[in-house]
Amino acid sequence: MPVPDFQSIMLPLLRLAADGKEHFVRDAVEALASHFGLSDADRQLMLPSGRARLFDNRFAWAKTHLTKTLLLQATRRGYFKITERGFNALRDAPDKVDLHFLNRFPELKQFRAANRPTLQHPEPQPETQGTPDELLEAAYQSLRDSLANDLLDLIKKGPPSLLEKVVVELLISMGYGGSRKDAGQAIGKAGDEGVDGIIKEDRLGLDIIYIQAKKWDNTVGRPEIQRFAGALQGQKARKGIFITTSDFSRDAREYTAHLELKIVLIDGDQLAQMMIDNDIGVASVSQYSVKKIDSDYFSEA
């Protein structure tokens, strides 16, 4: 079953607390995961950033909205219980508790108003399914994907020397190749509209990696990878990296998976994403630090 959105968690969470007892957050998370029939794989799904589990994050935002509208209350660290307002809301026997339902409580508007200047985006509408964390990460990913497309477009339109420069700078940034001078000399052989050379695997040069990069628009197929593997064997090399500005066919990827040689395939999208991760050809415009309450700080008071 797909992980439910945070609004779908609200009513089951409120019903869980309807026994009037104090509930431990972690127990409630597990109980609702069982309620929704989530598999272990579903429970392991993460936000795109990898900072938190998807269901846990959605549960937290459902609980936050119910707490901010005074349907639930925090009793002590990690525990909560239902309020009289929460009991009254359930007595109305609602089919759904969501943002539209919670709009009847003035505290929800106050909560949104207090956070709007920080979030810097329009007020979410009741039909919005994502949590603020998900909306923020989706916006970030959209900007990142757009940047990656622009980077790849510039490389494709640029001269072969641009791809050579990108590969050298990227591998140096990732810890390969020793000095930039050494890496440039090792990789800087003009090849088939790209790079064709070797680079040190580490700064001591304990092993070398054969590099081939092609500024192509067409998909790289198995024959090209077979020729590359043959070149590796001719050089008595064990490791290689094949970089393209396009992509690889399924046959090409399956072929490398069964080789004794270690060949890493990097397609255009991966190349652009790695450039962003390693600050190659990009510059930071702005940064946002997302913070949360430090519960340990307050528990020590």
- Each residue's pLDDT tens digit, 86-127: 999 999 889 999 999 999 999 998 887 765 544 334 444 444
The CATH fold assigned to 153-277 is: 3.40.1340
**Confidence check: pLDDT of 277 > 60:** yes
> Tokens 């994050």 correspond to what residue?
57
Q: With bands split at pLDDT 50, 70 and 90, how would you rate the model's confidence at 231? A: confident
Lowest mean pLDDT among 20-29, 138-147, 184-193: 184-193
Q: How many DSSP H helices and E strands does the chain contain?
A: 14, 7
What pLDDT is attached to residue 116? 52
What pLDDT is attached to residue 114? 63
**Confidence check: pLDDT of 3 > 90:** yes
Cα–Cα distance, 168 to 171 (Å, whole number): 5
Which of 205 and 147 is assigned the larger pLDDT?
147
What pLDDT is attached to residue 251? 96
What pLDDT is attached to residue 14? 97
pLDDT winner (highest mean) among 31-35, 180-184, 293-297: 31-35
Q: Outline which parts of the chain fall under CATH 1.10.10.10.
A: 6-122
Cα–Cα distance, 120 to 141 (Å, whole number): 17
Lowest mean pLDDT among 22-36, 59-73, 159-173, 217-231: 159-173
Which of 4 and 111 is assigned the larger pLDDT?
4
What does pTM read for this prediction? 0.68
The CATH fold assigned to 6-122 is: Arc Repressor Mutant, subunit A (1.10.10)
Q: Outline which parts of the chain fall under CATH 3.40.1340.10.
A: 153-277
Q: 290 CB contacts (<8 Å, ≥6 apart)?
A: 136
Q: What is the DSSP letter of 287?
A: -
What pLDDT is attached to residue 82? 97
